[in-house]
Amino acid sequence: MSEKSQQQAITQELFEHLVELASLELSEEEAGYLRRELNNQLKAIDELDAIQLDVGTRVTTHGVPYTKQISPDARDDDWQACPNPEDILAQAPEIRDRYVVVPDIPHTDLE
Amino acid sequence: MELTDLPAHTIAYLVRRREISAMNVLEAALNRISKVDGRPGSLDSNGRLPEDEQKVHAFITLTEEKARSQAEEVDRKIAQGEDPGPLAGVPFTVKDIFCVQDTPSTAGSRILGNFIAPYTATPVSRMEAAGGLMLGKVNLDEFTFGSSNESSAFQPTPRNPWNLKRAPGGSSGGSAAAVAAGEGVLSLGTDTSGSIRQPAACCGVVGMKPTYGRVSRYGLIAFGSSLDCPGPFAANVTDAALMLNSIAGPDVHDGTAANLAVPDYTQDLKKDIRGMRIGLSPDYFHITYIDPETGEMDQQPVPSEIEAAVLSTAGYLAQMGADIVEDIAMPHTRYGVPVYFVISRVEAASNLHRYDGVKYGHRTADNVADLRELYRKSRAEGFGTQPKLRILMGMYVSAAQYSEQYYNRALSVRTLIRKDFDQVFDPKGSHRLDALLTPTTPTTAFPLGDVYGDSVLMQYADQLTVTANHAGIPGISLPAGFAEDGLPIGVQLLGPDFSEARLLQIGRAFEMASEGEEWRKKRPAILSGA
């Protein structure tokens, strides 16, 4: 294991921060498993450190190059009515007067 | 032997000639499902029952009524002299990661357990328009996160029809199992790191990951948006080609669907492959993985039976006139999994942030103080362990202070993986390959329970397939015999962008050359007496 991977292993504190960012809550058992697996995966990821990257190696965000030839033209920005808005509203866990109901939104009152 | 054991192209031919009706075929499929599938996966399975171990459990939702009305429509069209379409009367299943209107579309997750899709994914609507009969939605790893289907929230999960104690592979395990067991003749799956090809290999069927952008992703519940590819499962190459004809092509609803005409993929299947250059790379005959305990890298050759199956396939292709080119260097193959650990997690975390218990899907029944707690509790209850793991890793490696080291580095190594392929497929290069021939998987189907939980080892099941997702290129897994344990072995062909027609042609040449092999006559044990 490289020193770096040991230094950067996900600590309990960092893990809790990630859980907060991810909007999750975890049982102790689940948290133990997830933190262990994350650190194991990071060890696998650290293999990438050994690769010599030439200066100017570009990044690839999609494997297949988007050439003009195969990229579709942007379609017109036309307004189109949704054919079944009721079906979409029907998916919401709680609806009142066609509004989606949620609990209090954390906020600060302005003075 | 039932009608669903016939190839799709034969079924469509017979239906169109009115020798059988679409309804006959549907009845045969429903009959097969009732014999072999057992209870469907559900959120309230009450644990495992002993009888579950005797069944395939490919399905989550059977859409019998829908299939009946589609069969009636095909039969009506034929009676009135209308064209019923190239998939007339062919029963198919859909991985439950595609939206199908008015149908539960769950992604194998509790968080979408009650979601009824308000629209239909493009590849599904194209198969329906082509006369296919949609039998239902089949099981998968939760949000496609796995290689065994064990992570699905919908239990019991699929079993391998060749050996019910083994995993069917994944994540499109229900698709592969359904085709292998003759429940549906075709299936629509998705492949983000090997999720079509790996289960196809495990279940002894054909599975193709088309070029990224060849098939629209509209209506596909997203995981890794730069990697996800919908594609066909079939019992043979001709059927996979027929299905690809239906699902491929530009789509106004997906700006990443390539604006490129769709050839008839069945056109060249009988053409000979003389002079085609097919490469073998030593870098695809072993896997390199990390021992999490020691942190040491370990390298293991693929089992000799799998190597022998690949070499035997090469032998058949050589008999058919192909030039086999050995010792092709693909030096970045081993980095496919670590790169995937970064890129796919970032994309997954981003795609999964939309599930919050507000507009659709699972919402906690607990009393909550505010909206943030609603998010946390709904997500905690709705997501299983594997989505949580991917979200957390995605958050970490894309965080501002780490993204240069992890995310950007992974995207740069992705460039090198792509370059490996560009070099060997370059028509003016030194190798000028038409395709690369490799094993699909480093093992045959593993026993249920053996790997699940070890997220690192599970990911290495994809080491030989994931490179094609990084590079965007097409790949196909073909059945190529059986190991001593009686489980199928798959071999993989990889080709340059949009070379699906050529890969299918080579695959068909292999089928023709090995037609007389004893192993081609084998049927899964679960079908004896079915």
Please report the ipTM that was assigned to this predicted complex.
0.92
Instruction: Assess if residue B285 is contained within a domain.
Output: no
Contacts B337 to A, Cβ<8 Å: 44
pLDDT at A108: 86
Work out the average pLDDT over B319-332: 98
Burial (Cβ within 10 Å: 0-12, 13-18, ≥19) of residue B378 = buried
Assess whether B377 and B249 both reside in one domain.
no
The predicted structure's pLDDT at residue B55? 98
Mean pLDDT of B120-124: 98
B198/chain A closest Cα distance in angstroms: 20
B438, part of any domain: no
- Are A87 and B372 an interchain contact pair (Cβ–Cβ within 8 Å)? no
Percent of chain B with pLDDT over 90: 93
Residue B74: predicted pLDDT: 98
Annotated catalytic residue within B172, B195, B499, B514: B195
B280 domain-assigned: no
B388 contacts A24? CB cut-off 8 A:
yes
Q: Cβ of B338 and A48 within 8 Å?
A: yes
Question: Number of structural domains, chain B?
Answer: 2
Q: What is the pLDDT of residue A5?
A: 45
Give the residue ranges of chain A where pLDDT is below 70. Answer: 1-8
Chain A touched by B370 (CB under 8 Å): yes
Does some domain include residue B180? Answer: yes
Inside any domain, residue B71: yes
3-state helix, strand, coil in chain A (%, to 5): 40, 5, 55
Report the percentage of chain B scoring pLDDT > 70.
Answer: 100
Count how many pairs of residues, chain A against chain B, have C-beta atoms within 8 Å: 192
Q: Looking at the structure, do residues B252 and B138 belong to the same domain, yes or no?
A: yes
| Residue B336 clears pLDDT 70, i.e. is over it | yes
pLDDT value, residue B529 = 63
User: Of B148, B90, B1, which Cα lies nearest the Cα of B445?
Assistant: B148
Question: How far is it, in rounded angstroms, from Cα B37 to Cα B383?
Answer: 26
Claim to verify: residue B74 and residue B222 sit in the same structural domain: yes
Per the listing, tokens 């299905």 go with B243
Q: Give the H/E segment covering residue A89.
A: helix A85-89
Widest CA span in chain A: 60
Which structural domain, as residue segments, surrounds residue B373?
A: 337-406
Q: Is residue B349 assigned to a domain?
A: yes
The b-or-e profile of B308-317 (16+ CB within 10 A means b, else e) is ebbebbbebb
Considering only A62-76, B265-279, B378-392, which range has the smallest mean pLDDT?
A62-76
C-alpha dist (Å) from residue B239 to B200, B301, B457, B466 = 14, 33, 33, 24
Q: What is the pLDDT of residues B391-431, one digit of tens each?
A: 999 999 999 888 888 999 999 999 999 999 999 999 999 99
Burial-class residue B485 by CB neighbours within 10 Å (0-12, 13-18, 19+).
exposed
Query: Tell me, what's the pLDDT at B530?
Result: 56
Is residue B357 in a domain? yes
Find the length of chain A. 111
- Listed in sequence order, the DSSP H helices in B283-370 are 304-319, 336-352
pTM exceeds 0.80 for this model: yes
B199-213 pLDDT per residue, tens: 999 999 999 999 999
Enumerate residues 6+ apart whose C-beta is below 8 A from B370.
Answer: A103, A104, A105, A106
Same domain as B355, residue B235: no
- The Cα–Cα gap between B54 and B63 comes to 23
d(CA B436, CA B480): 15
B162 half-sphere exposure, CB direction, 13 A CA radius: 31
B43 assigned to some structural domain: yes
Contact between residue B325 and residue B335 where contact means Cβ atoms under 8 Å apart: no
* Backbone angles phi and psi of B208, in degrees to 5: -125, 130
The rounded distance, in Å, linking the Cα atoms of B78 and B83 is 7
Tokens of B324: 């086999």
Of the listed ranges A42-46, B178-182, B238-242, the least confidently predicted one is A42-46
The closest CB to that of B370, out of A60, A74, A103, belongs to A103
pLDDT interval class at B528 (50, 70, 90) = confident
Residues A98, B456 contacting (CB under 8 angstroms): no
Q: Residue A46: CB partners within 8 Å, gap ≥ 6?
A: A1, A2, A4, A5, B338
C-alpha distances out from residue B386 to B47, B59, B106, B339, B392, Å: 20, 21, 15, 18, 10
CATH number at residue B238: 3.90.1300.10
Distances (CA, A) of B126 to B133, B249, B370, B419, B495: 11, 10, 43, 34, 25
Domains in chain A, CATH or no CATH each: 1-50 (1.10.20)
- Backbone torsions φ then ψ of B245, nearest 5 degrees: -55, -40
Last residue of a domain, one of B262, B296, B326: B262
Task: Say if residue B228 is in the same domain as residue B364.
Answer: no
Cis peptide before B199 (omega within 30 of 0): no
Q: B1-43 pLDDT, tens per residue? A: 799 999 999 999 999 999 999 999 999 999 999 999 999 999 9
CA atoms within 13 A on the CB side of B382: 30
> In angstroms, rounded to a whole number, what is the distance separating the alpha carbons of residues A99 and B374?
17
Q: Chain B contact for A55, CB < 8 A?
A: no
CB within 8 Å: B363 and A93: yes
Residue B64 tokens read as 């019998």
pLDDT in tens, B454-506: 988 889 889 999 999 999 999 999 999 999 999 999 999 999 999 999 999 99
pLDDT of res. A110? 87
Instruction: Tell the residue number behind the tokens 């006959």, with chain if given.
Output: B24
Q: How far apart are CA B270 and CA B379, in angstroms?
A: 51
The single-letter code of the amino acid at B207 is G
